[in-house]
Every structure is written in C-alpha cells, then in structure tokens.
Amino acid sequence: MTHEAFAAKLTDLLPKAQANPTAYRRRVQAWVWLGYGFIALLLLGSFALLGGLLWAVVAVGVAGIIFKLLIPVVYFVWTLLRSLWVKFDPPAGRELSRAEAAPLHDLLRAQTRALRAPAVHRVILTTDFNAAAMQLPRLGLLGWPRNYVLVGLPLLQTLTPEQAAAVVAHELGHLRGGHGRFAALTYRVNQSWAQLVGNLEQSGRRSIVRGFTEWYVPRFNAWSHPLRRTAEFEADAAAARITSPAALAGALCAIEVREPALDQLYWTPLNKSLAVEPAPPADPISRLLAVARTASLPAEEESALLRRAAEADPDPFDTHPTLGERLAALGQPVAAPAPPATTAAEAWLGASLPALAQELDTKWRQERASFWRERHAVLRDQLSSLNKLNEQLAGGTALAEADAWTHADLTEDHVSEAESLPLYRALFDSAKYGAPARFAVGRILASQDDPAGLPLLEEAMRSNPDFVGPGLAIQQGYHQRQGDRDAARQLASRQYHHADFTDLVAAERQGCTQQDVLLAHGLSDEELAPVLAVLADPANRVGRAWLMRKQLTHLAAEKPYFILVLRADKGKGLNTDEEVANWASLLTPKIVLPSSGLAVPIINEFMWVGKKALALAGSEIYHRQLS
C-alpha cells in the first residue's frame, strides 16, 4: 500500500471510528484475530506435515530422507512460535514511592476512583518533557497487566498543579478505556509479524508468508490507527470531567509553548557547551528546574506558535489530534497561560524535589558521559580546522573547493548562519558543491521565513535526489508558518509521492538474487583506487575480487548499487565457509564504495554470484600475485 493510499484509507476510516468507537473497536479486534488466525493456520498445517513425516518414518522406514525433510519444517514451526512471544520492557525512570510523592499518589488514587480506572502499580519519574500511561502484560499473551504512570520532571516544573492533574487524568483516561491494553495488543501484533518476517528473511523463507504479509500488515495498521486518535479524545473528555476543561486546555497550550521555550533557553545553550566543556555538567536537571519554572518566549512568538498549532491541518499519520481539534472538543479557546506561581513538581514532590533532581543529575550525566566526550573531541577538531582555514584565508591563500565547502559548513555550525551564507553562495558555480550549497542557503533562508530560499531548494532537489525529502519538508514547514494551508497540503501530497518512490528505490537495493542482471561496474581508475588499496593490503588476505553493478529501474545512474565479490586467500583460519563468511563481515566495513552496495564472499551459499562474476568480462578488479 502506497503512502498516499494509506493516507486516503485513514481519511476514510477516521469518521467511522469517531461515529461509533465501540463497533469500530470490534472491527479492529477482528483484524487482530485474522492475523493470529493465519499464524495458527500455518502452525496447524506444519504440525500436520510433521505428523505425516513422522508416520512415514515409522510406516515406511526411510528415516534418512524423512529426517532431512523434518529439519526445515521444525525450524519453520519454531520460527512461528517465536514470533508470538513479544517481550515488553518496563519503562525507564526513577520509581516514586509514596513517601517521596504523597500528593501525587493521593491524586492518582482519587482519580482512578473517579474514573473507575484500574489501579496504578508504579509511578515513574523521568527527565522527558512528557507524561504517559502504560499497561504491560506480565504473562505475554495471557495478560495480567501491570499499570504504569510516567511523569516527566521538566513537564511538571512548567505546569500548575491543576494543569498537571488534568494531564495525569488524561493518561488515566487511557487506562480506564482499555487503551493501554489495546495499544499493547496492537504493538504485539505488529511485533509478531515483524519478528516472523525478519526470522523468515534470515532463513530465506519469507516467500511462504510474503503475499499475506504485504496485504495484511498495512491494512491492520490503517484500521488500528484511527482508534488511537479517538482514544485521545476519549481520554481528554474523561480528564475534563474530573478536573476541568479549562485546566486541560491550559495544560495543552502550556505544553505547546513551554517545550520550545526550554529548548531555546536551556537545551540549545547546553548543547553549544559541548564544544567548550570536556565533560557534561554535574547538575543538568537541577539547573533545568530553575529555568523551566519561568520558561517563556516573547508574547508575539508564543501567540504565533499557538495560532499555527491551532490552525494546523490534521496529520493523517499522527495518532494525536491537533491542538485545534482538542480545544474545539473541550470548548475552550486558545490562550497562552501565565507561568505557574507554584509548579506541580514543587507541590507534588515537596521536600523530596532537590534529592530527586540530584539523582536524575547523576543518571543523566552517567548515561551521556561517553557521548559527550566523543562529541566534544569532534567539535574541538572542527574548531581547530576552522581556525586553520581562517588563518589560510587571512594569509591570502585561496581555498580549494573541498576546503571552501568545509569552511562554509563549519562557519555555519560554529559561528553563525549569517556569516556562512556568502561562503555557500561562493560555491554556487561548483560542479560538485553547487547543489549542496544551494540547498544550504535555501534551508537557512526558509528557516528565517525568507521566500528567496524556496527556489534554491527546488534547484538543489532537481540536481540531487537526496535533497528531495528534506527539501519538501522544509518548504512545507515554511508554508505552514505563513498560514498557506493550500501550499502546505500540496507539499504533503508531494511528500507522499516521494516516500513511495523512495520505497521503490530502496527495495531495488535490498541485496541481490539469482534473477538480477549484473553489469560492468563503470567506475574510473580514480574511483576504484580507495577500494583497491584495501584489497591489496596483505593483512586483509584477499585473493581475488570482482566488482559489478546491479541493473536497476529507478535512479540507476544517480544511485548505482554495486556487488563486490570476494575470494579469500585460503589458509589458516580461512578454510571453512563459516570462517570465510566471518572474514568478509570484518573486511566489509573497511571498504568504501562510491555508492551503496553488497560485499559477497565466495562460499557455497553464494557460488552463483561467483559464477556471474566470472562470466562478466572486465569485472575482476583485483588478483593477488604470488611472490
């Protein structure tokens, strides 16, 4: 099913889900049992075949041949059974005891009684700007759910207790409606099919279920998707009933403006400090609390954010309704709320708040220490390179094209977008960097709401297919900010078409089969040189190598797909197929082809590729000469 067909299907199904959620839920459950029924049918057929083969062993006595037939059948049954077992990992975070958060536990108890929702077994504090409820089955298919409520400390620090209570009530509304169980069920179905297809692909047996999979999975996803959207409205209505519509509306509007405020005022400066500080700060969450309490953007900016969110078209692929849809259902206006006098974090966690923040500080720092060090080293190297390029220019030496591109790119990252613009524009006439430079300038101008960036994006997209996806997204964002809904819708349609085309391009480049036509690689000596350098290294033990290009239908010239066939220099540790396959897996990351491709070792399983290579004149690119 194409992206556009999927979107059309969602548009058709959503009114049905909203008109009669109960009847619609029964239809979705029928799709669930259809999927499991097909797996059960495969299991019954496999068990029948197993029984027949075992009977043949006893009755006929031809055990050798029969046992060879039994092996793939037993493996297939095991694959089916494994696909039915889906593991649910418990949510990450810090569990809150009653002693640490008595007001929150009391609130949850009162709200579960008011909503007639199931009891909450675990309350988890996270560092996310979010809240959620989860129902995870303790016994897999047999159920017995454990209920979790997750609350993000940054979120609690930006909301009033009344607003946060409405958010928590919304999450409990999901538990009350069985949305958590349904979400777990749909997740289990999706994971079961993903695991089944993945396991069969590894064994080369996906064709057994390919037809049903390609028909069933997108349709199940389409039917289950609208029910998740209607669940949001049901949870909103439940929360508004036991708190107030105004409190929930205030929370929704606050979330819309406070998260970007926190990004701008806290997370962006913190990320910039990566280039200066060799280690992450000791107290990132504690420092965040001080900023989050009063985080706000200029009034004009907040009004614009809320207006755009309220007027946005519903995204058919998003399970959450838009802010405008949710406020309309609540009968509440769009309004930017004032910062809280007392935050929910302060009211609910009280004296425990500093100690909890310190615990989260330590965890945040530990989890990111390795990444921070690696990223800091990269950024320091980039700054060093930028300084050297600036010194070269200051000395009157012109930069080569590659260095000029690096200079523009690093200037944007480490100095400012404004200073990078003339540097990018100077590369417009470059054969190699002209399209990327146009895209960079178009991206920067469009992000500043300058319409001059749009034609530059289109030029870059025509020159390089890799720019089409991000270019369409940038243009759509621009038109959404301008309030031009028609243009934004047209770009959404173009994105659907591009996504479908991208799927076709990717599908052609998923490996190689015996039916594929392989052509001469068509690379120049200069393009081959880096590959040959790796192949010729005696430490890599390559005996011979052939390079071919797969015949493609889509973007064959722009994005070729190469097949590199490798014959090991046999000897100690490289005699069995398993040893050669392991050798190839270690060698492949060292080889950088000009485009995507596949490295295939010559072993029994892939002997047909070797035969194709030998039959294609000019495909051999390396043959080690014995001294």
pLDDT at 621: 95
pLDDT tens digits, 304-321: 999 999 988 888 888 889
d(CA 278, CA 608): 52
pLDDT at 65: 62
Which of 465, 486, 508 is the endpoint of a domain?
508
User: 166: which 2 tokens?
Assistant: 């409405």
Task: Assign 11 a pLDDT band (cuts: 50, 70, 90).
Answer: confident
pLDDT tens digits, 123-138: 999 999 999 988 776 6
**Residue 164 near residue 213, CB atoms below 8 Å:** no
What's the one-letter identity of residue 627?
S
Which of 178, 211, 234 is the endpoint of a domain?
234
- Helix, strand, coil tally for the chain in percent (to 5): 65, 10, 25
Q: Are residues 448 and 595 in the same domain?
A: no
pLDDT (average), residues 380-389: 96
Q: Which long-range contacts (CB under 8 A, 24 or more apart) does 419-428 make?
A: 420/444, 427/401
pLDDT at 627 over 70: no
pLDDT (average), residues 222-241: 89
Which of 234, 266, 286 is the endpoint of a domain?
234
Q: Are residues 487 and 528 in the same domain?
A: no
Pairing mode, strands 131-137 and 94-95 = unpaired
pLDDT at 51: 81
Q: Is residue 481 in some structural domain?
A: yes
pLDDT at 584 over 90: yes
Q: Give every CB contact of residue 144 below 8 A, 6+ residues apart in sequence.
A: 137, 138
Burial 433-469 (b: 16+ CB within 10 A, else e): bbbbbbbbbbbbbbeeeeeebbebbbbbbeebbbbbe
Q: Are residues 404 and 502 in the same domain?
A: yes
Task: Assign 48 a pLDDT band (cuts: 50, 70, 90).
Answer: confident
Q: Give every CB contact of residue 288 below 8 A, 6+ residues apart in sequence.
A: 154, 157, 262, 266
**Alpha helices, H only, 313-433:** 323-330, 344-349, 353-394, 401-414, 417-425
pLDDT at 300: 93
Q: Is residue 541 in some structural domain?
A: yes
pLDDT at 575 over 70: yes
Q: Give every CB contact of residue 624 below 8 A, 6+ residues apart in sequence.
A: 536, 542, 543, 544, 569
Q: Which residues constitute the domain of residue 483?
A: 398-508
Backbone phi and psi for residue 543, each to the nearest 5 degrees, phi listed first: -85, -55
pLDDT at 151: 97
Q: Are residues 474 and 591 in the same domain?
A: no
**Residue 426 near residue 407, CB atoms below 8 Å:** no
pLDDT top residue among 606 and 184: 606
Question: Three-class SS of residue 605?
Answer: helix
pLDDT at 279: 94
CATH number for the domain harbouring residue 407: 1.25.40
Q: Is residue 543 in some structural domain?
A: yes
Q: Are residues 470 and 590 in the same domain?
A: no
d(CA 406, CA 414): 12
pLDDT at 144 over 70: no
Nearest CA-CA partner of 118 in 132, 103, 133: 133
d(CA 540, CA 534): 7
Q: Is residue 112 in some structural domain?
A: no
pLDDT at 356: 97
Domains: count for the chain: 3
Query: How buried is residue 384: exposed, middle or buried, by Cβ count under 10 Å (0-12/13-18/19+)?
Result: exposed
Q: Is residue 104 in some structural domain?
A: no
Question: Three-class SS of residue 132?
Answer: strand
Nearest CA-CA partner of 602 in 587, 613, 617, 591: 613
Q: Is residue 329 in some structural domain?
A: no
| Neighbouring C-beta atoms of residue 541, cutoff 10 Å | 17
| Neighbouring C-beta atoms of residue 521, cutoff 10 Å | 23
Query: How buried is residue 353: exposed, middle or buried, by Cβ count under 10 Å (0-12/13-18/19+)?
Result: buried
Task: Assign 175 a pLDDT band (cuts: 50, 70, 90).
Answer: confident
pLDDT at 212: 81
pLDDT tens digits, 451-473: 999 999 999 999 999 999 999 99
Query: How buried is residue 274: exposed, middle or buried, by Cβ count under 10 Å (0-12/13-18/19+)?
Result: middle
Q: Are residues 488 and 545 in the same domain?
A: no
Q: Are residues 504 and 402 in the same domain?
A: yes
Nearest CA-CA partner of 6 in 315, 402, 427: 315
Q: Give every CB contact of residue 539 below 8 A, 6+ residues apart in sequence.
A: none
pLDDT at 58 over 90: no
User: 309: which 2 tokens?
Assistant: 């969110």
pLDDT (average), residues 375-401: 95
pTM, full prediction: 0.81
Distance of CA 604 to the CA centre of its chain: 36
Q: Quick one: DSSP state of residue 312?
A: P
Nearest CA-CA partner of 236 in 249, 250, 254, 253: 249
pLDDT at 214 over 90: no
d(CA 299, CA 479): 22
Q: Is residue 111 in some structural domain?
A: no
* pLDDT, mean over the chain: 89
**Residue 251 near residue 164, CB atoms below 8 Å:** yes
Q: Is residue 34 in some structural domain?
A: yes
pLDDT at 372 over 90: yes
SS3 sequence, 11-75? Answer: HHHHHHHHHCHHHHHHHHHHHHHHHHHHHHHHHHHHHHHHHHHHHHHHHCCCHHHHHHHHHHHHH
pLDDT at 64: 62
CATH number for the domain harbouring residue 615: 3.30.460
Distinct helix (H) and strand (E) counts, the chain: 24, 9
Q: Quick one: DSSP state of residue 145?
A: E
What's the one-letter identity of residue 457?
L
pLDDT at 68: 65
pLDDT tens digits, 538-574: 999 999 999 999 999 999 999 999 999 999 988 888 8
pLDDT at 269: 94
Q: Are residues 574 and 479 in the same domain?
A: no
Q: Are residues 458 and 418 in the same domain?
A: yes
pLDDT at 133: 87
Q: Are residues 600 and 456 in the same domain?
A: no
Q: Are residues 82 and 196 in the same domain?
A: yes
Q: Are residues 501 and 402 in the same domain?
A: yes
pLDDT at 446: 97
